[in-house]
Amino acid sequence: MKRARQKVMVEHAVPQTSQENKKQKTCLYGSAFSECDPHASIDWGSLPHHVILRIFQFLPLVDRARASSVCRRWNEVFHIPDLWRRFEFELSQPATSYLKSTHPDLIQQIIKRHADHLQYVSFKVDSSTESAEAACNILSQLVNCSIKTLGLISTAKPSFMNVSKAHFASALTVVFVNSKSLSSIKIDDTPLDDPSLKVLVANNSDTLKLLKMSSCPHVSPAGVLCVADQCHGLKELALNYYILSDELLLALSSEKHVDLEHLRIDVVSENPGQVEFHTIKKQSWDAFVKHSPKVNIVMYFFLYEEEFDAFFREETPVTHLYFGRAVSKAMLGRIGLNCPRLIELVVCANGLQPLDDELIQIAQRCKNLTAMGLGECEVTCRGFIEFVKMCGGRLTQLSIMEEVLIPDNDYSLDRLHLEVSKHLGRMWFPDMMPTW
Amino acid sequence: MRHRTIHLFRKGLRLHDNPALLAALQSSEVVYPVYILDRAFMTSAMHIGALRWHFLLQSLEDLRSSLCQLGSCLLVIQGEYESVVRDHVQKWNITQVTLDEEMEPFYKEMEANIRALGEELGFEVLSLMGHSLYNTQRILELNGGTPPLTYKRFLHILSLLGDPETPVRNLTAEDFQRCSPPELGLAECYRVPLPTDLKIPPESISPWRGGESEGLQRLEQHLANQGWVASFTKPKTVPNSLLPSTTGLSPYFSMGCLSVRSFFYRLSNIYAQAKHHSLPPVSLQGQLLWREFFYTVASATPNFTKMAGNPICLQIRWYEDAERLHRWKTAQTGFPWIDAIMTQLRQEGWIHHLARHAAACFLTRGDLWISWEEGMKVFEELLLDADYSINAGNWMWLSASAFFHHYTRIFCPVRFGRRTDPEGHYIRKYLPILKNFPSKYIYEPWTASEEEQKQAGCIIGRDYPFPMVDHKEASDHNLQLMKQVREEQYRTAQLTRDDADDPMEMKLKRDHSEEGLTKKKAARMTEQT
């Protein structure tokens, strides 16, 4: 390559600068294929920067890094800001984790040379506290950044929860204050708190569009209300049920607020043995849906059977329902009665009584239902087929465990899959476990 | 020219629907029906416990008897198979060797070696597929050259293929008369060995007897019990009985004492005739199809029975814990449900598939986090129906290493058993030490008070072990581990995943691709940074 470099020096006396780059763009093929000089050979080392950049964009980081030590020009391209807009820091302790880890030298290089260029950043950490702390340390150093997207992802146990609140808050503050253009933040399972939210809002209220903060136990209803009041461009929000309030729904429905597209609510017992949950007034839901008629309202329930009493006693505009543990028959009955906007329903487990009536009511009244999944429940074949018949082709997704289905006088399992396929208009089978 | 043929029985220990044997009889002037008992070869291929040896020898004895009745005999020759073939081809002037085509790598290698011998010594080799419903090649072809990796996709391909291969006609005495039997005296020389001859421990009481006759009898009983043959009435027996099945058929299929094709068509006839009557449960035909599925995948997947080098299997760093493995294997986990299962397995060589699910989940992803390969080896040794592809395939399934992805469904060793058998009859039968516990406690006897334990005549910790893990703690921990593995090896997990119809899977896919969309919106970057 040394020879090539010499060639570069001879043919292009002035070393490339970004202005030259722009000039070259206008005769893209000319310089690369030497239209000007038909006898000059094509030489990898003398490709213009933007061509090398384009090629580098197809290479994984590891290969790019290797390529960067080939020659000075390639090294220059390697450090062009365009290649450093997006980065995912993978932090894990090799002794206990499967995750590959971003090399500490690379992390240092990024902080030193590219902190300013980072716009879309995520941190993927394993279940050790050290990894979460390392993530916070990196965050604290991103002082001159203008980050648009930030994601903190725990791949296993929520290790950010073991970081001290103060350390975590100060790391976040650095980014919240300096970015001033944050649009998307995913910080589920972290010690995020109200003061940090205030800082976020104070600096990014114009740009914030997405905020996912499920399972952040230090956030209060007031904290999220502050976000809704100030961030009028917010389109997606994920939080836990205990911080959902009538005031929040109304704030999200104010005139100044854009249409919300996606609201995810996790319903979990915050304290062991908690059976009481507050209710949201129907008027609040009505106002909310009136303001954002296309909004997806997604609810994840992780409760035990006795804990569902507060829910769906009145019409509720939920669109996606997931029951991660058992759900009572009565609750499923209420869903049929009160959830006309329902699109997707997944039930992990129920009791030993067949759910025929509840399913048929859901088919009748939830006219928008297109996806259904049933785990450890009981349904007679006849009931199930009637359900599918009523839904017809609108059920684009249907998943049921074979052992859920109880054969009866009319249908056996073998005929059932043919009947269901007929009504759905495609080949369908239940989920099966091997018999051997 | 009519051949002088050795027919080599390997699996396929039956006379009905035996294409290779029929072809031998039709093309030969003399047929030597041979079973080569190459112990070293067999034990290097698979672990074989005492019960399965007994089953095998009983099957050979039954085969011998049936052949004698038709005027022939069975010659059981012990020794290393290549030498046996070489010697006897020369001794008997053999011009053809017929055998069943089998898909296990060790059997494929054996066939290749025999073919090489054939080249060398000048005899032909004819192998015909008799052990599976379909010609595996056709399934692979229809799926674009690779095996369908999900059961649903597999069923879809079968629906395109139509019906399986039909069974060949039964052999008659005439078939045997048309060609000469082996010389008199050979049968004496090469009789079926007794267990003591092979130094196998004497049989314990197992309700399963090997052989084609026994298998056929069970088959008739099975269909009759359910009332379908006679009067198409509803089944009276509880289909999910955990107790030893008097009409179960899996070991007979796996040794080839029964033909899967014959059984399949038998069932199809019943379905055809009984349009408006109650039908046999899907699990009958389903069992055959699961078998076929695993056979198909195994035939075209390298290292199918291992984790390392197996492209469809998640690479998981399972714990190595010989002591815990031993406790599981010897029914000392302290969980009566699991221990009863492992006791029945050891004593009788068969357990219901729900029991297999529970035991496998407990060993691997549920509680002990020990490799499925270890469990597979134990089942291989103890199960009468242990089968190369089916055993491995199911262990990968139950450990959520492949095919099965709802890893959050962990079977609770207390609740699962209780749901299946609330009064604990099964536990009382196989763990008599616990039989006096009231049903309330029998699945978790450590929760009974000291007084109640005294009354039941069994002190936990002394007469029966304490539970070896805290199930909630262990399973929560394992869930996290599994989640991490799946994050890392997303692409491998996707290979054997059916997500088209499952809203949760589609949601996961949507979440993953959501990220992809925002990535595309940014500069044209690569996925890997």
Q: Is the pLDDT of residue A294 over 80?
A: yes
Helix (H, G, I), strand (E, B) or coil at B100: strand
Residue from the list A346, A429, A431 with its beta carbon closest to the beta carbon of B503: A346
pLDDT digits (tens, 9 = 90+) for B69-97: 998 999 999 999 999 999 999 999 999 99
Among B residues 486-515, those touching chain A with beta carbons less than 8 Å apart: 487-488, 498, 500-507
Q: Can you say whether residue B227 is alpha, beta or left, with left for phi > 0 and alpha for psi between -120 and 50 degrees?
A: left
Residue in A with minimal Cα distance to B481: A156
Q: Which pair of tokens denotes residue B150?
A: 């999900």
pLDDT score at B508 = 66
pLDDT score at B487 = 84
pLDDT digits (tens, 9 = 90+) for B416-465: 888 778 889 999 999 999 999 999 999 999 999 999 999 999 999 999 99
Residue from the list B282, B518, B525 with its beta carbon closest to the beta carbon of A413: B282
DSSP bridge partners of A320:
A298, A344
Mean pLDDT of B291-306: 95
C-alpha distances in Å from residue A244, one per residue of A221, A226, A306: 6, 12, 21
Residue in A with minimal Cα distance to B275: A415
Among B residues 307-346, those touching chain A with beta carbons less than 8 Å apart: 317
Lowest mean pLDDT among A15-19, A39-43, A52-56, A309-313: A15-19
- Cα torsion at A4, A5, A6, A10 (round to 10°)? 100
CATH of the domain at A143: 3.80.10.10
Record: contact B503-A397, CB cut-off 8 A: yes
pLDDT digits (tens, 9 = 90+) for A81-121: 888 899 999 998 877 666 678 888 889 989 998 888 999 99
pLDDT digits (tens, 9 = 90+) for B313-330: 999 999 999 999 999 999
Residue in A with minimal Cα distance to B282: A414
Record: contact B390-A436, CB cut-off 8 A: yes
| Chain B contact set for A371 (CB, 8 A) | 503, 506
Lowest mean pLDDT among A47-51, B134-138, B203-207, B365-369: B203-207
Whether A106 and chain B come into contact, CB under 8 Å, resolves to no
Q: Is the pLDDT of residue A256 over 90?
A: yes
pLDDT digits (tens, 9 = 90+) for A193-243: 999 999 999 999 999 999 999 999 999 999 999 999 999 999 999 999 999
How is residue A112 annotated by DSSP?
A: I
Record: contact B480-A157, CB cut-off 8 A: yes
What mean pLDDT is reported for chain A?
86
pLDDT score at B509 = 67
pLDDT score at A18 = 46
Instruction: Establish, for the pair of chains A and B, how many residue pairs have beta carbons separated by less than 8 Å.
Output: 128
Percent of the residues in chain B that have a pLDDT greater than 70, as a whole number: 89
Record: contact B159-A412, CB cut-off 8 A: no
Flag whether A310 is in a domain.
no
Among A residues 10-49, those touching chain B with beta carbons less than 8 Å apart: none
Record: contact A435-B283, CB cut-off 8 A: yes
CATH number of the domain located at residue range(s) B133-167+214-300 in this protein: 1.25.40.80
Give B367→chain A minimum CA distance, Å: 17
Residue from the list B151, B385, B409 with its beta carbon closest to the beta carbon of A432: B151
Lowest mean pLDDT among A179-183, B15-19, B454-458: A179-183
Flag whether A78 is in a domain.
no
Lowest mean pLDDT among A260-269, B16-25, B188-197, B516-525: B516-525
Q: In this structure, are strands A320-326 and A344-349 parallel, antiparallel, or unpaired? A: parallel
Number of domains in chain A: 1
Q: Is the pLDDT of residue B170 over 50?
A: yes
pLDDT digits (tens, 9 = 90+) for A386-423: 999 999 989 999 999 887 888 777 777 777 888 999 99
Record: contact A58-B526, CB cut-off 8 A: yes
| Interatomic CA distance for residues B57 and A368, integer angstroms | 62
In contact, A177 and A143? CB cutoff 8 Å: no
pLDDT score at B180 = 84
In contact, A382 and A357? CB cutoff 8 Å: no
Whether A119 and chain B come into contact, CB under 8 Å, resolves to yes
Flag whether A213 is in a domain.
yes
- Phi, psi dihedrals of residue A213, rounded to the nearest 5°: -140, 55
Flag whether A102 is in a domain.
yes
Residue from the list B291, B506, B523 with its beta carbon closest to the beta carbon of A85: B523
| Chain A contact set for B525 (CB, 8 A) | 57, 83, 85-86
Domain coverage including residue A113? 86-219
Residues of B marked as binding for FAD?
Answer: 246-250, 287-294, 385-387
Record: contact A87-B525, CB cut-off 8 A: no
- Arch. (CATH architecture) of B1-131: 3-Layer(aba) Sandwich (3.40)
C-alpha distances in Å from residue A336, one per residue of A285, A330, A355: 18, 10, 12
Residue in B with minimal Cα distance to A414: B282
pLDDT band for position B410 (50/70/90)?
Answer: confident
| Maximum C-alpha span of chain B | 85
pLDDT digits (tens, 9 = 90+) for A298-310: 999 988 778 888 8
pLDDT score at B91 = 94
In contact, A375 and A347? CB cutoff 8 Å: yes
Whether A414 and chain B come into contact, CB under 8 Å, resolves to yes
Q: Which pair of tokens denotes residue B56?
A: 């095998």
| Chain A contact set for B409 (CB, 8 A) | 375-376
Lowest mean pLDDT among A123-137, A360-374, B79-93, B514-528: B514-528
How is residue A266 annotated by DSSP?
A: E
pLDDT band for position B511 (50/70/90)?
Answer: low
In contact, B49 and B347? CB cutoff 8 Å: no
Give B279→chain A minimum CA distance, Å: 7
Flag whether A125 is in a domain.
yes
Q: Which residues contact B105 (CB under 8 A, 6 or more apart)?
A: none
DSSP string covering B32-97: EEEEEE-HHHHHHHS---HHHHHHHHHHHHHHHHHHHHTT---EEEES-HHHHHHHHHHHTT--EE
| Interatomic CA distance for residues A242 and A110, integer angstroms | 39
Residues of B marked as binding?
Answer: 246-250, 287-294, 385-387
Q: Which residues contact A299 (CB under 8 A, 6 or more apart)?
A: A264, A265, A266, A267, A318, A320, A321, A322
Give B200→chain A minimum CA distance, Å: 27
| Chain B contact set for A427 (CB, 8 A) | 156, 159
In contact, A133 and A163? CB cutoff 8 Å: yes
Give A224→chain B minimum CA distance, Å: 24
Whether B380 and chain A come into contact, CB under 8 Å, resolves to no
pLDDT score at A416 = 86
End-to-end CA distance of chain A: 63
Record: contact A98-B271, CB cut-off 8 A: no
Whether A412 and chain B come into contact, CB under 8 Å, resolves to yes
| Chain A contact set for B317 (CB, 8 A) | 98
pLDDT score at A1 = 39
Record: contact A86-B525, CB cut-off 8 A: yes
| Interatomic CA distance for residues A406 and A421, integer angstroms | 18
pLDDT score at A436 = 75
| Chain A contact set for B294 (CB, 8 A) | 434
Helices (H), B412-489: 415-420, 425-430, 439-442, 450-456, 471-488
C-alpha distances in Å from residue B353, one per residue of A434, B350, B475: 8, 9, 22
pLDDT score at B236 = 38
Among A residues 350-409, those touching chain B with beta carbons less than 8 Å apart: 371-373, 375-376, 397-399, 402, 407, 409
In contact, B130 and B99? CB cutoff 8 Å: no
Give A37→chain B minimum CA distance, Å: 32
Record: contact A59-B526, CB cut-off 8 A: yes
- Phi, psi dihedrals of residue B452, rounded to the nearest 5°: -65, -35
Superfamily classification of domain B322-528: DNA Cyclobutane Dipyrimidine Photolyase, subunit A, domain 3 (1.10.579.10)
| Chain A contact set for B379 (CB, 8 A) | none
DSSP bridge partners of A124:
A90, A153
In contact, A188 and A213? CB cutoff 8 Å: yes
pLDDT score at B283 = 59
Residue from the list A62, A83, A373 with its beta carbon closest to the beta carbon of B504: A373
pLDDT score at B282 = 52
Mean pLDDT of A174-189: 93
Among B150, B525, B527, pick the best mutation site for testing chain A contact (most A Cβ within 10 A). B525
Which position has the higher pLDDT, B522 or B465? B465
Q: Is the pLDDT of residue B510 over 50?
A: yes
| Chain B contact set for A398 (CB, 8 A) | 501
Lowest mean pLDDT among B265-274, B476-485, B515-524: B515-524
Q: What is the ipTM of this complex?
A: 0.76
For CA atoms B233, B234, B235, B236, the dihedral sign is negative
Strands (E), A137-275: 149-154, 184-186, 210-212, 236-240, 262-268
Q: Which pair of tokens denotes residue A113?
A: 């040379």
In contact, A184 and A150? CB cutoff 8 Å: yes
Residue in B with minimal Cα distance to A151: B515
DSSP string covering A64-102: HHHHTTT-HHHHHHHT-GGGGSEEEEEE--TTT--S---
pLDDT digits (tens, 9 = 90+) for A163-173: 999 999 999 99
| Interatomic CA distance for residues B493 and B508, integer angstroms | 12
| Chain B contact set for A433 (CB, 8 A) | 353, 357, 397, 404
Give B529→chain A minimum CA distance, Å: 5
Which position has the higher pLDDT, A1 or B493? B493
